Amino acid sequence: MSSKLIYSKLIKAEAKRIGFLSCGISKAEFLEDEAPRLEKWLNEGKHGKMKYMENHFDKRLNPTLLVEGSKSVISLSYNYYTDKTQVHATAPKISKYAYGTDYHYVIKKKLVQLLEFIKSKIGDVHGRAFVDSAPVMERSWAKRSGLGWIGKNTNLISKNVGSYYFIAELIVDIDLDYDTSVTDHCGSCTACIDACPTDAISEPYKVDGDKCISYFTIELKENIPNDYKGKFENWMFGCDICQDVCPWNRFSKNHSEPLFQPDPKMISMTRGEWHELTEQTFKKVFKKSALKRAKYKGVTRNIKFLSD
């Protein structure tokens, strides 16, 4: 057995031990197929006001520009699915991923732990950990690493566990044993396209970011366009519609991460309590929450938009 294969098996076993759902590895190289697609998407303005998407175009496509001398991209997934829901049906809805502690903190810590393990077993290894915080095309690398296929809603989907998981990477400067992509299993299904209330999935495998409820409620800092009044189906932070209707998510299993357990205060809030939310309460209840990304101003804007 080659050292590359031995090291890869060690890494995957440790990733599983510390809680990652899956782990795959691909060669760190220029994403040639993704380059024209990304350029076209940006040129068409599908990223809306997310101007940061225009930055670091070359780095998004070439991991060797992010980590000097990098040779491998280790892609990992981390489950966040829960069958628990908000207690009050009329309360403004929050995406499942934001029920517990902000995933950036939880997963980054585990990535650092995995990188330290790699160094302890292999030696002088240099690398960086990424959790949705740098110009890395996570889904493309996860697809190349065999973790799933990119579905018609542009989420990464696995036959075994659906799509309710975060994606993260370690980019390292060692050669490893590389995995291969899996087959697309969306078939003729159009459930996600049919269910999207804002028609954000303009065609299979293409999402207009500037029409997505998650974009409006999290990324957009300005007022939400009035054209979308009555189309959010009560989603206040993020949106799970295209995942909820995906047939592959019937295979989703509850996560086992204590820090992702739903905050009891948050999921039990009534519609009235959301409307009466003060900045002081927001800072206290959502101190470690992903809702901080929208800030108090954004959350209250979203609530008002839903009720006006």
Q: Are 147 and 158 in contact (CB under 8 A)?
A: yes
The dihedral through the CA atoms of 8, 13, 18, 22 has a sign that is positive
State the pairing for strand pair 156-157/93-94. unpaired
* Cβ within 8 Å of residue 99, ≥6 positions away: 80, 82, 84, 260, 261, 262, 263, 266, 267
User: 235: which strand partners?
Assistant: 93
Q: Are 286 and 266 in contact (CB under 8 A)?
A: yes
Give SS3 for 210.
Answer: helix
> Measured between alpha carbons, how far is 271 from 89 in angstroms, rounded to an integer?
9
Query: What phi-psi label fits residue 45: left (phi over 0), alpha (psi between -120 and 50 degrees) or beta?
Result: left
Burial call 252-280: b when 16+ CB within 10 Å, e when fewer: beebebeebebbeebbebebeebeebeee
Amino acid (1-letter code) at residue 253: K
Query: What phi-psi label fits residue 205: left (phi over 0), alpha (psi between -120 and 50 degrees) or beta?
Result: left
Q: Which of 132, 175, 177, 184 is catalytic?
A: 132
H or E stretch at 244 = helix 241-244
Catalytic annotation on 173? no
Q: What are the residue numbers of the active site?
A: 132
